[in-house]
Amino acid sequence: MDVSISNTVSTALYMNQAQTAEQAQMQIFKDALDIQAQQVTEIMASADMGAESNLAQEGNVGTQVNTYA
């Protein structure tokens, strides 16, 4: 009977440590995703800043698609 109580306590402590480690890993994962989202937002914003339309302004050819891109 004493062995089963000891095993139960040991298992409970192990599960508690595993849950704490999992929470720490999830927090690091969330932080990494936030950093990546911020970097992608900055990259997309910088790509939009220098974009100029090289499309033809008149006529029926080259006004919709930039064929030199």
Q: Is the pLDDT of residue 6 over 70?
A: yes
Q: pLDDT higher for 69 or 20?
A: 20
3-state SS, 5-53, equals: HHHHHHHHHHHHHHHHHHHHHHHHHHHHHHHHHHHHHHHHHHHHHCCCC
**Span 16-28, pLDDT tens digits:** 999 999 999 999 9
What tokens appear for 69 in the block? 């891109």
Percent of the chain at pLDDT > 90 equals 51
What pLDDT is recorded for position 51? 56
Please compute the mean of the pLDDT values over residues 6-10 and round it to a whole number: 91
